[in-house]
Structures are given as C-alpha cells and as structure tokens.
Amino acid sequence: MGQRLSGAAVLLAAAFAASAATAQAPGVTADTIKIGTFGALTGPGYLYGKLPMNGVEVVFDEINRAGGINGRKLQLVREDDRCDPTAAIGAVKKLVEQDQVFAIIGGGCSNATFAAKDTLEASKVPTLIFASVHDGITIPPAANIFSTATTSTIESQAQLAYAVEQGAKKIAIVSMRDSWGRARYTPLIEAFKAKNIKPVADEELSPDANDATAQVLRLKAAGADAVLLLLYPKPAAIFIRDAQKLGFKPLSLGQTGIADPAAFEEQVGVPGATANFRTISQVRYTPEDPKMDKWRKLVEAKFPGDRLSVYNLFGIGSAEVLVEALKRAGKDLTREKMTDALANLKDVNTEVYAAPITCSATDHRCNKGPAWMAKEPGGPIKVLGFTVVGQ
C-alpha cells in the first residue's frame, strides 16, 4: 500500500502541474512542440511501432538541427501499447491528459489503434497514423484523425486489380487470421464480390507457421494461377518455399507487410523461388536504394546496430507529412489550425512515399498510391508501377 499511497502522491502532483500550464496550446511553448507517439515498443508488434518511431525521431532531429519549426524544436514522447487494446487506450490517455502533447503521430497494431479511436477522437488532438491499416480508423472519418498508411481496403483492392490485370483466372487467398490479416481479408472478399468473381481457394496460415505443405497442396488441387498473400514475411516465406518445393509456381502477390523484396528473397532461401513474386509497398524505395543513403546513415548512427528497414521508412514519410502540416499551421499554433492544415494537405511530396499525399475534409486516408515491386532472383529491384485506388 506504500505503492498505492505514493501513487496517490504522484496523482496529486500531476494535477497541480496540469493547472500550472500556460495560455499556449497544450504541448507548445515558445521554443518547443511536444509530439506524442504510441505503438508497440515491446512484443511482436514492435516492427510496426518502435521502428517507425525511430524513423520519426530521425526526421525530428533533422528538423531541430535546422532550427525547428518557426523557432520551436520538436520533442517526441513515446508510449508503449504492446499491441494491446487496453494498453493503447492507456497510452493515448496518458499522452493527452498527463504528457499534454500537442499532436500525435503513431499507431502500429490495427486493433490497438482502432480501440483507441474513440479516445483519440474525444481528445481532439490532431493525429496522424503511421502504420495501422484497419479501415475503421479512418472510415467514418474522425475530424482529427488522418492516416499516411495505405489502408487495408486500398491494398486489398490493388492486389485483386493487379492479379486480374495480369490475366489470372483462378485466384486464391492465403491469409493470417489475426487482426492485421482480417483487416485486409474482409475488404478483399468485398472486392471479389464487386468484381463478381470467387476465390478458388481460401486458406489460412498462422503467423508462426513453419510449414505450408497442406496449404500449397490445397491450392494446387484447386488449380490456382494467382495467390494473394495476406501474410507477414515469415509465413509468406514459408509458403513460397514450400510452393517451390512442390513445383507450384503461381503469380504470388504480397502487400506492404512484405515491402522489401530483397530481404524477402533471402528469407525464402530457395534459389529462384521468388521469380513470380510481386509485392506492394506504401513507400517507393527499399532500404538498399541509394536514394535512401541519407536516411540509412541517420538511422544507423542514431540507433547503433540497427539496419534501415521499410518500417523506419513508414515513420520517416509520416513524420515528413506531419512536419509539413505543422509548418502550414503557422506560428500561432492551435490544435484547430493543425487539424485544418492536415485536412487541407494536397499533393505533398515526401522523400519516401510512392504517391503524393492528399487529405481532404471527407477522406482522411491520405496515401492512396501503393507501388508495385518485384525482384528477379539475383537481379535488382524494379518498381513496376503504381495502382491508384479509390475515390
């Protein structure tokens, strides 16, 4: 109970600190702007939380080195959500009520962010989502929540459209039954219905799977000529490996979860197996691209031992958009101005995203141009083009 009492003391102290805040907008002082971020720092979701946050931090450092925005330096406050809905709500409440941040950039795991949507909306804090793809986060739009992640509907529609375009007649699905996989699966099935076709096979693969023989055999029996993979790189690599083993070579289509074809080729590990593999990326470049040298140096210098990854790039792109909106919101920052600035972003070019970023008052999905990529086994990565989806 000593703990409980000292907890109470902390509560009281925080209450006083809050009342001492100045007339400035919350989180803004003459020379700083406090920006919050939430996502998984721990647990399997850290790929979509901690790593984009590292990207955001590197962008903020660059801005601060150049003197900040209107003379104000950017501070990043990180909160962990462990990919858990409860912890996400706790993290957002803490950022808003205790840390008193001006704006939020973050959101890794879909369900966690979706669970925190009500809390975010009620807080009116301008929010930019960097990785969560769940459609419910941006549809229906909350006045203050925007996303630079290509949401699941956009990518699922693009996957199907691409397969049809390539002349596939018998299209199959292999998906993970977790919140990430389902967020993509549901709109994919709707896209199938809209095109009036039926998947010839619909199989499931666990995120920790170590064998996909059963799935491959079932797809082979169904005669699939294209496979849409709603999988993380690990199960996708297992699937492609076992497909190669069993002589099954359909057109295989990934999505943003497998955005680095070079790393993926290595993960599959069987020479030539990725010949028919194409994937979507919400960013235009892979980490090995010479155009990313600047960011690679910055990330690897700030986080020793790390290698620049696509997950870092998600954060870098999103942070660039946030910075642009902060600049446009002007010197007298208020949350209303910031929200307006986000809602009126039009054709903003970033250094990493495939397409320019455009938000509007009615559509808060600001990144709608996923890029298609492929890598010939042993050859270089090629950007095949962009599928621009949606209204």
Partner 1 sequence: MPFGRRNVLLALLAIGVIVPAFANGYQLFVCNLVAIYILLAIGLNILVGYAGQLAFANAAMFGIGAYATGLLQVHLGWPFWAAFPSGGLIAAAVGTLLALPALRMSGLYLALSTLAFAQATQWVFLHWENVTFGAGGFKTPPLSFAPLPVDKPVGLYYLSLVLVVLLYFFGRHVVTSRIGRAFVAVRDSEVAAESLGIDLLRYKALAFGISGFYAGVAGGLYSALLNFVAPEGYDLFQMIIQKSTIVVGGLGSIAGSVIGASIIILVLELLREVKGMQEIAFGALLVGFVLFMRGGLITVLRRYVRGWEEPLRMTPRDPTGALPQSEARPSAADK
Partner 2 sequence: MLLFSYLLMSGVTTGALYALVALGIVVVNKATGVINFAQGEFFMFTGFVGWMLHVQFGMNYPLSFLLAVAVGFVLGMLTDRIAFRPIAKSDIVSLVLATVGIGFILKGLARVIWGGKADYLSFPPITSPDPIMVGPVMVIPQQLAVLAGTVIIMLVFAAFFRLTRAGKMMQATADNSRAALLVGIRTDRIYTLAFGTGAAIAAAAAVLTAPLTLLYPDIGFAFFLKGFAAAVLGGLTSLPGAVLGGLIVGVAESLAGGYIHSSVMELSPFLVIMVVLVLRPSGLLSFRKARRI
Alpha helices in 269-309 (DSSP H): 293-302
Residues 110-139 touching partner 1, rule: CB under 8 A, are 110-112, 114-115, 118, 134, 136
Q: How far is the CB of 124 from partner 1 (least distance, A)?
A: 13
Our finding on whether 79 is near partner 1 (CB under 8 A) is: yes
Closest to partner 1 by CB, 147 or 274: 147
Neighbours of 262 (CB within 10 A): 16
- Give the Å distances, CA to CA, from 343 to 43, 359, 360, 380: 33, 5, 5, 38
Q: How far is CA 269 from the centre of its chain?
A: 26
Q: Is 178 among the residues that bind partner 2 (CB under 8 A)?
A: no
375 binds, among partner 2, partner 1, none (CB under 5 to 8 A by kind): none
Q: Out of 51, 319, 329, 342, which residue is the one contacting partner 2 (CB under 8 A)?
A: 51
Choose the one of partner 1, partner 2, none that binds residue 79, judging by a C-beta under 5 to 8 angstroms depending on kind.
partner 1
292 binds, among partner 1, partner 2, none (CB under 5 to 8 A by kind): none
In degrees, to the nearest 5, what angle opens at C-alpha 299 toward C-alphas 293 and 301? Answer: 100
Dihedral sign (CA 146, 152, 153, 159): positive
Q: Does 202 bind partner 1 (CB under 8 A)?
A: no
Check if the beta carbon of residue 83 is closer than 8 Å to that of residue 45.
yes
23: partner contacted, choices partner 2, partner 1, none (Cβ within 5-8 A by kind): none
Q: How far is the CB of 179 from partner 1 (least distance, A)?
A: 5
208 touching partner 2, by CB under 8 A: yes
Exactly one of 33, 59, 63, 89 binds partner 1 (CB under 8 A); which one?
89
- The reply to whether 242 sits near partner 1 by the rule CB under 8 A is no
Q: Where are the beta strands (DSSP E) in the chain?
A: 32-39, 73-80, 103-106, 127-129, 145-147, 171-175, 201-204, 226-230, 251-253, 277-281, 371-375, 381-386
Element (H, E) at 322: helix 310-328
Nearest to 326 by CA among 13, 74, 153: 74
The one among 6, 86, 166, 213 contacting partner 2 by CB under 8 A: 213
Contacts with partner 1, residue ranges (CB under 8 A):
1, 3-5, 7-8, 11-12, 14-15, 18, 41-43, 50, 78-80, 82-86, 89-91, 93-94, 96-98, 109-112, 114-115, 118, 134, 136, 177-179, 181-183, 186
